[in-house]
Amino acid sequence: MMPEPTPRFARIALVSAHTGPLPQPDGPDLDGQSVYVAQLAACLAGRGHDVTLYTRRDRPDRPTLVRTASGVKVVHVPAGPPVPVPKDELLTWMPEFGAYLARIWRLNRPDVVHAHFWTSGAAALTGARGAGIPVVQTFHTLGTTERRHRGGEEAGPPERVDIETRIAREVHRTLATSADEMNELLALGVPRARISVVPCGVDTGHYAPVPLADRPNGAAFRLLSVGRLDPRQGFDRAVEALSGIPGAELLIAGGPDAQLLFADPEAERLRKAADRYGVAERVRLLGHVPRALMPHLMSSADLLLSLPRHAPSALVPIEAMACGTPVVATAVGGQTDAVVDGVTGTLVPPADDESHDLAATIRGLLGDPARLARYGAAARTHALARFARDEVTDAVCRVYADIARTPRVRETGPLSPA
């Protein structure tokens, strides 16, 4: 598909309060949202737009303005202490962040504002009010969904869901990353006409098939799981299934650097699970794997296992499919959109469905090399057609162009503490 014609917008403001495109000098790679926002900003700038990304200053030595190699201007907004703060604890400083945006935008008005995550939306609407600037919101994950999958535990401050609801009702358009998220927004009372489903995209040039390397331990099959070391990721389910898959190894990538895994409680829990199921010699915890090495790792796997209880964007399965690796994924959240069951992989029930034999499903796939090859080829084709960053940028640009017809922010009052 040819890229969309550049819309009339010349000045695009992206707001990502808790995470920008610049990694910490001594920190790990950018997280998924950071990579997506940086990728979107670069693609928009590459199409001739004047793109400014506003993020909170989280280090005292961050300069106010940095221009990236792709031409994106990054503004580090002074809001709260110049130290890292957990993203769900930033609400206190969003009025300060929003007031800064309002001052800047009165002098240099952007044509459209695109906020990422709920705290950013609160700040963006504060900055856009009174200037008639249209605002687009991508939540990336919703508090209602997080709370449900945490067994009722709040994900962030108790007012999060109320603020998200008000943001979604006030902005010109909310971009849902999946049909599942769209349904959550509809349940919050957001009109369908003000929701567009736009998935997260990946760099299909970076995430691409890599020739397989030898497996030093001689395993017949390699299974891979990737993500934060968190009980909700379902890694323990993969470990349990491995006990019924002779000749396979399971690699788990994520968490702190490998040398720090000994102190990680979830890593210890997974090691104990591997001992309990008699597969300790076939489970390898890799720790943090740099983004630069991930395509090689994903290409080396026969299957990617993505078994979380909830998956807002399905970024990891999409990256694996872009590498030509078939996916076994729980049918939750964005994974139901991303993985085409029986074409690019297999969707399986969530962990609370004890009637499903996950090991048997995986054995069936590993025992059918022709089907695995078909799934792998289809996965790459599917990723290129639907999730390539240019395709996603096209979809975002169409939304920007569409909301140009309604250039007014509906006022509902402050969204965050005074």
* 311 and 394 part of one domain: no
Q: Return phi, psi of residue 148, to 5°.
A: -65, -40
Average pLDDT, 10 consecutive residues per value, the chain (418 residues): 52 92 55 86 95 96 94 96 90 97 95 96 95 94 80 73 96 96 96 96 96 70 95 95 97 96 96 98 96 95 95 93 98 95 97 82 98 98 97 96 69 54
User: Are 260 and 148 found together in one domain?
Assistant: no
pLDDT, position 170: 96
| 142-159 pLDDT tens trace | 998 887 766 555 567 889
- Predicted pLDDT of residue 5: 47
Q: Is residue 338 part of a domain?
A: yes
For residue 70, tell me if it sits in a domain.
Answer: yes
162 and 232 together in one domain = no
| Separation of alpha carbons 13 and 11, rounded Å | 7
Q: What is the CATH number of the domain that holds 363?
A: 3.40.50.2000
Are 250 and 365 found together in one domain?
yes
Total domain count, the chain: 2
Residue 210 falls inside a structural domain = no
Q: How much is the pLDDT for 6? A: 44
Cβ burial 276-305 (10 Å sphere, 16+ → b, else e): ebebeebbbbbbebeeeebbebbbbbbbbb
Residues 79 and 24 in one domain: yes
Residues 67 and 138 in one domain: yes
Mark whether 321 and 179 lie in a shared domain. Answer: no
Q: Flag whether 212 is in a domain.
A: no
Indicate if 232 and 375 belong to the same structural domain: yes
Asked if residue 247 and residue 100 are part of one domain, the reply reads: no
Q: Write the single-letter amino acid at 304.
A: L
How much is the pTM? Answer: 0.89
Task: Give domain status of residue 216, yes or no.
Answer: no
My answer on whether 140 and 189 are in the same domain is yes
Beta 73-77 vs 65-67: how paired, if at all?
Answer: antiparallel
Residues 290 and 264 in one domain: yes
Asked if residue 408 is part of any domain, the answer here is no
Considering the domain boundaries, does residue 215 fall inside one? no
Domain of 336, in residue numbers: 221-387
Residue 158 lies in a domain: yes
Same domain, 382 and 395: no
Would the CA dihedral through 109, 111, 116, 118 be positive or negative? positive
